[in-house]
Amino acid sequence: MAIEFKQVDFTYQPGTPFETKALADINVTIPTGSYTALIGHTGSGKSTLLQHLNALLKPTSGTVLIGDREITPATSNKDLKSLRRKVGIVFQFPESQLFEETVAKDIAFGPQNFGVSEADALKTAADMLDLVGLPATLLDRSPFDLSGGQMRRVAIAGVLAMQPQVLVLDEPTAGLDPQGRLDMMEMFAQLRHDQDLTVVLVTHQMDDVANYADHVIVMDQGRVVKTGTPRDVFQDPEWLLKHQLGLPKTTAFARQLVQKGLHFDQLPLTEDELAADLVAQLPASAFGGGSTDDE
Ligand SMILES: Nc1ncnc2c1ncn2[C@@H]1O[C@H](COP(=O)(O)OP(=O)(O)OP(=O)(O)O)[C@@H](O)[C@H]1O
């Protein structure tokens, strides 16, 4: 399901001394099936834009097209339920929203709220727990007895239980250890593939953008200042610096190598790309033990 912003402005607390224009003239599309990363310096408007993806916020002016639904300043708050099902948002630290006695009940809460029978919702809960890589033995446990990473997966299972078409992730790996981060990012890639999801990821982790996204939206001071593939966005380090953004670690390392005289046709984005580029530049003699031609 595609989401399109047309000339969207958003102002917090208009007409008060606290009035803040958070979005200005946003014209951007999140294509169906894309893995879109939304990046930008703190305060650039990412969270505000994210809340427009399922009409938690409505534009002050302009239009957001979410699938076939058109959201304008005049859209009523009624009748947004089906939209909220289609676009599932995993907010930062979603585990803080767990509240039920058992893992099963927590995951089943959303579907039951939408009229699914208890038996069917509990069946869905079991399926979703499996989908997020947790064992069925956890179903009857209290969510509060789980590890932080497991709690987060349960919270994500609760969002997936609504069978969204678009999964929106707001800094989903914040606070996890490196292995936990990697596992979580791999899980989203797998879910996207298996569930045919459109994914929107808000992140400050440029490595994740390079490794997983295929479309990037860059924001600065409430405006979209660039859209493109990760390769488009990360080819101009000076431009990124100007917008207070960094490079993926691999790209930053490749840049150091360029300063020491190596050449890359394009700066590599991932470890695999860097390794392949370096190997291609090394002389055959660097590969010890392979050749017996001279003997
Ligand atoms: N509830 C609010 N009331 C008034 N102003 C707000 C509110 N929420 C955000 N803002 C302001 O809107 C602007 C955009 O904030 P937003 O949270 O969307 O940025 P962000 O890019 O998500 O930042 P971060 O990376 O720190 O999460 C900022 O100037 C912020 O101070």
Question: Do residues 225 and 267 share a domain?
Answer: no
Residue 174 lies in a domain: yes
**Could you please report the per-residue DSSP string of 209-224?**
HHHH-SEEEEEETTEE
- Note the pLDDT tens digit of each residue in 272-283: 999 999 998 888
Question: Do residues 186 and 132 share a domain?
Answer: yes
E strands of 56-197, at which residues?
Answer: 61-66, 69-71, 87-90, 166-170
Question: Do residues 209 and 267 share a domain?
Answer: no
- Regions of the chain short of the pLDDT cut 70: 289-295
Print the domain residue range for 100: 33-44+80-240
- Note the pLDDT tens digit of each residue in 232-270: 999 998 999 899 999 999 999 999 999 999 999 999 999
Question: Do residues 275 and 202 share a domain?
Answer: no
Contact 267, 252 (CB under 8 A): no
Residue 122 lies in a domain: yes
**Token pair of 139 as six digits:** 């179903």
Residue 1 lies in a domain: no
ipTM over 0.90: yes
Pocket test for ligand 1, best of 9, 11, 12 (most atoms within 8 A of CB): 12
Question: Do residues 87 and 222 share a domain?
Answer: yes
d(CA 10, CA 24): 7
- The pTM is what? 0.92
The tally of domains found in the chain comes to: 2
d(CA 98, CA 91): 12
Question: Do residues 171 and 258 share a domain?
Answer: no
Summary mean pLDDT of the chain: 93
Question: Do residues 116 and 208 share a domain?
Answer: yes
Question: Do residues 260 and 219 share a domain?
Answer: no
Question: Do residues 151 and 274 share a domain?
Answer: no
Pocket test for ligand 1, best of 48, 168, 203, 219 (most atoms within 8 A of CB): 48
Question: Do residues 263 and 236 share a domain?
Answer: no
